[in-house]
Amino acid sequence: MELDEETRKDLKQHVLKTGTTTVGIVCKDGIVLAADKRGTYGGDGGVSYIASSDHDKIYPVNDSIIVTVAGVASDTRKVIKLTKAELKLKELRTKQKPSIKDAANLFSTIVYQNIRQYSPIMAITQFLLAGHDENGVYLYQINPDGMLDEVTDYEATGSGMMQSHPLLDSEYKKGLSLEEGIKLAKKCINASRKRDPASGDGIDIYTVTKTEIKQVAKQEAVTEYKDRN
C-alpha cells in the first residue's frame, strides 16, 4: 500500500525519536557507557516536541551485556527484544552462553535486515554494546546501516555526538581509570545537553568490568547525581 505525501509527513512528525547523546569509553579496567535521558518527537526540521525527560537509553540484554540506543525508539526496542530472544535460544541449543562478539554480530545482522526492508518510516537504529565474557571486556558500535565496529578507545552516537567527539578527541588517553572515564563521560553528555536540543535532562552512567555491570551514576532532570555503591 502506497501512502500519500500528507500521511508520510504526519508519520515523520510524530515518531518518537530518542534524539540522544550516548558515549562509550574504553578504560584500563573496563568500559564506561553514558547517555542522556531526553525523548523527543522529531519532524523534518528537527526536534518538534520534548516528549519525555526520563527516557532510558541504556538497556540490559542479559546479565553480561548492555547497550545504548539512538534512533527511532520503537525500532531500537524491537531490535533489543529480537536479539534477547535469539541469544537465549542459542544458549539453550548449544548449552553455552554466547560470546560478546556473537551478540554484537547478531545485533548488526538484525539492524542490516531492518534498514533494507521497505517502510514509510525508515528503521534508523544505532547501538553501543558493552559486555564481558571469559575472554575479556568489549565495546562495539553497531551503525545504522548494520556495519559492526569494535571500539578500542571511545565512541559517541546520536545527535549530540558533535559536541562529545571534540572532548573525547582532546581528553581521552589510553589507560584511563574507570573514575576518569566516568568524569569524561559526564563532561561529554553535559556539553551535548547545552548545545543539542534533542539531548538533555538526566544522565545515566554504567560501568562494565570483567565481573559485573553496574549503574554508577543517575541524574534525574531536576536532581543531583546519585552515586550507587
Whichever domain contains 55, its CATH number is 3.60.20.10
Catalytic residue among 7, 18, 20, 94: 20
User: Residue 221: its pLDDT value, please?
Assistant: 58
Number of domains within the chain: 1
User: Residue 16: its pLDDT value, please?
Assistant: 47
How many Å is the Cα radius of gyration of the chain?
17
Q: What are phi and psi of 145, to 5 degrees?
A: -90, 5
Rounded to whole angstroms, the Cα distance separating 18 from 204 reads 14
Rounded to whole angstroms, the Cα distance separating 87 from 98 reads 7
Could you tell me which of 110, 106, 75, 111 has the C-alpha nearest to residue 89?
A: 106
Give the chain's end-to-end CA distance (angstroms, integer). Answer: 53
- CB neighbourhood size of 25 (10 A): 27
Rounded to whole angstroms, the Cα distance separating 201 from 38 reads 6
Rounded to whole angstroms, the Cα distance separating 55 from 228 reads 19
At a CB cut-off of 8 Å and minimum separation 6, what does 152 contact?
Answer: 26, 139
User: Residue 14: its pLDDT value, please?
Assistant: 39
Q: What is the pTM of this model?
A: 0.84
User: How many angstroms from the chain centroid is the CA of residue 89?
Assistant: 24
Q: What is the 3 state secondary structure string of 59-71?
A: EEEECCEEEEEEE
**Residues in the chain, total:** 229
| Predicted confidence pLDDT, tens digits, the chain (229 residues) | 344 555 444 434 434 455 689 999 999 999 999 999 887 766 544 555 676 677 889 999 999 999 999 988 888 999 999 999 999 999 999 999 999 999 999 999 999 998 887 776 677 889 999 999 999 999 999 999 999 999 999 999 988 888 999 999 999 999 999 999 999 999 999 988 887 766 777 899 999 999 999 999 887 654 444 555 4
Q: What single-letter DSSP state applies at residue 201?
A: S
Amino acid (one-letter) located at 46: G
Residue numbers of the domain that contains 153: 5-227
Check if 125 is active-site. Answer: no
User: How many angstroms from the chain centroid is the CA of residue 189?
Assistant: 13
